[in-house]
């Protein structure tokens, strides 16, 4: 029996236990959070080891829920969703490890954290659109409290902006799905029922409904110009929340576009396709250029996330199987890399140096003060640049090949974005870790420790090692995920893409 359907339930129970344990002991709350995250990781790992790739969703559990509306508690999995479940398990476990030093209201922190994680798992496993939406909302609500309660720079503003954008996007999604349910005469909210209902809508209705659903999801995915919540929210959020926001929560929006918007409304997708592609390209280049001039270390990573998510949206815009596979692989890749980058900036650097200002960091010998953080960031930065040997390389390559076959100008513009990404990554790497020590900065003697620099803690090493291993393993062996993803894209649900397969 698969443990996958139990992951959201156990994670929610873990959230409640962490809250109760935190009232007595911070250490107990941390232990509950880690054990809960490890359960998800083990369950995902066992499912991955036993998974047989298929061109259809494999039902895990399917029972009636709201029978009057045909809504069911239906969880299912295929290669696409399993890839993202594995990503969530990695990000959740690493986030707990990077949050080991949280000292304020520890039980409440991990209760909200695990509730968010449970919602993410539920989204990736849902096979009923209404259930999908419920889990989607469960993942959104805790974000506000995590950022507002434990965040830093303009945390209340960042939390409110993040949640308002998220709720506005989800309202568009709900409106589009309810419209489809009513106008198409659907018998329920299953993916198949709504796909059939959408096919019975008029051309104008289909195009409009697609616009509502796609751009509602794309708001959370950070599609330009709906992206402005992302850098602000990332910067304001505590480390673990930043890791989850960039690592998996933004993927909820992209996954919604891939799983619901494109298959349900292929007619609407064709009408909006060029608009989506140009917006994706604009986001890649624009966010990269903005990252290039940022002074706040965390803002650089925030805008970097928007730029890299632009590649995901570009892959979706092409509608090509190869590019869709690349987009899914990029979701996984960016999830582990962005999580690692935010872990370095928020936990390893900011909590020790109490600044994210690149001018101030440049005046400190950071490669000597924090050699471990410098080493991890260099590797994560190389991965973020998409160099061979890391997961970003095969993902971006497949997207660029698909974009070239559909619209060569998109591919050329995206390559410009790759070059800009290399520029801002090398810039921040140099300024943050390899600047010249200046006595005028007021650090004085003792800036360098006698033992060669401050060492990383064991939880930091484990969290960073987990994410680094993931990006390197998939970079060297992308077929581990592509062998799951490609059969899933041969599903009848993706018929609009399967017809474009190049022999």
Give pLDDT tens digits for 278-298: 999 999 999 999 989 888 888
pLDDT at 440 over 70: no
Between residues 198 and 499, the one the model is more confident about = 198
Residue where the block lists tokens 């140096």 = 353
Question: How distant, in Å, are the alpha carbons of 1, 239, 345, 380, 452 from that of 339?
Answer: 31, 9, 10, 10, 27
| 38-83 pLDDT per residue, tens | 999 999 999 999 998 888 889 999 999 988 888 899 999 999 999 9
| 352-385 pLDDT per residue, tens | 888 888 888 888 777 888 888 889 999 999 998 8
DSSP helix/strand/coil, 296:
strand
Rounded CA-CA distance 95/100 in Å is 9
- Model-level pTM? 0.90
pLDDT at 176 over 90: yes
Confidence of residue 497 (pLDDT cuts 50, 70, 90): low
Residue where the block lists tokens 């987009």 = 327
Q: Strand pairing partners for 75?
A: 61, 126
> Exposure of 439 by Cβ count < 10 A (0-12 exposed, 13-18 middle, 19+ buried)?
exposed
pLDDT at 444 over 60: no
The total of other beta-carbon atoms located within 10 Å of residue 266's CB is 22
C-beta separation of 396 from 386 below 8 A: yes
> Exposure of 96 by Cβ count < 10 A (0-12 exposed, 13-18 middle, 19+ buried)?
buried
Confidence of residue 325 (pLDDT cuts 50, 70, 90): very high
pLDDT at 147 over 60: yes
Rounded to the nearest 10 degrees, the angle between the axes of helix 408-433 and helix 371-384 is: 170
pLDDT at 56: 86
């Amino acid at each position: 029996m698969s443990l996958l359907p139990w992951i959201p339930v156990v994670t929610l129970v873990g959230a409640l236990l962490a809250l109760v344990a935190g009232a007595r002991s911070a250490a107990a709350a941390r232990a509950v959070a880690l054990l809960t995250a490890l359960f998800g990781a083990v369950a995902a790992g066992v499912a991955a080891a036993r998974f047989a790739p298929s061109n259809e969703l494999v039902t895990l559990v399917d029972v009636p829920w709201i029978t009057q509306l045909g809504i069911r508690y239906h969880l299912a999995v295929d290669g696409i969703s399993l890839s993202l479940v594995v990503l969530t398990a990695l990000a959740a476990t690493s986030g707990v490890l990077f949050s080991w030093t949280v000292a304020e209201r520890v039980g409440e922190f991990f209760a909200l954290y695990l509730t968010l994680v449970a919602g993410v798992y539920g989204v990736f496993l849902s096979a009923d659109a209404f259930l999908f939406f419920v889990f989607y909302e469960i993942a959104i609500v805790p974000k506000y409290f995590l950022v507002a309660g434990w965040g830093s720079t303009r945390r209340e503003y960042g939390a409110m902006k993040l949640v308002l954008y998220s709720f506005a996007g989800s309202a568009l999604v709900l409106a589009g799905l309810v419209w489809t349910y009513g106008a198409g005469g659907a018998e329920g909210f299953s993916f198949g029922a709504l796909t059939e209902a959408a096919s019975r809508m008029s051309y104008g209705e289909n195009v409009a409904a697609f616009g509502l659903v796609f751009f509602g999801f794309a708001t959370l995915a950070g599609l330009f110009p709906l992206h402005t919540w992302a850098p602000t929210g990332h910067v304001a959020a505590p480390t673990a929340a930043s890791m989850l926001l960039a690592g998996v929560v933004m993927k909820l929006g992209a996954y919604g576009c891939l799983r619901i918007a494109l298959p349900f409304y292929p007619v609407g997708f064709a009408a909006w396709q060029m608009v989506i592609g140009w917006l994706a390209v604009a986001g890649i280049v624009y966010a990269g250029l903005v990252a290039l001039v940022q002074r706040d270390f965390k803002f650089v990573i925030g805008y970097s996330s928007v730029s890299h998510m632009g590649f995901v949206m570009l892959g979706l815009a092409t509608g090509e199987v190869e590019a869709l596979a690349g987009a899914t692989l990029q979701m996984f890749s960016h999830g582990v890399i962005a999580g690692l980058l935010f872990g370095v900036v928020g936990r390893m650097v900011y909590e020790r140096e109490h600044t994210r200002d690149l001018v101030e960091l440049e005046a400190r010998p950071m490669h000597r003060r924090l050699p471990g953080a410098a080493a991890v960031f260099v590797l994560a930065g190389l991965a973020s640049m998409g160099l061979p040997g890391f997961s970003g390389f095969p993902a971006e390559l497949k997207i660029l090949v698909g974009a070239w076959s559909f619209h060569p100008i998109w591919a050329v513009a995206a390559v410009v974005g790759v070059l800009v990404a290399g520029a801002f990554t090398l810039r921040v790497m140099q300024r943050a870790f390899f600047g010249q020590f200046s006595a005028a900065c007021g650090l004085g003697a003792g800036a360098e420790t006698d033992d060669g620099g401050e060492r990383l803690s064991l939880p930091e090493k484990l969290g960073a090692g987990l994410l680094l291993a993931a990006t390197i393993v998939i970079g060297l062996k992308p077929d581990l995920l592509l062998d799951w993803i490609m059969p899933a894209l041969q599903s009848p649900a993706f018929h609009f893409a399967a017809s474009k397969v190049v022999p």
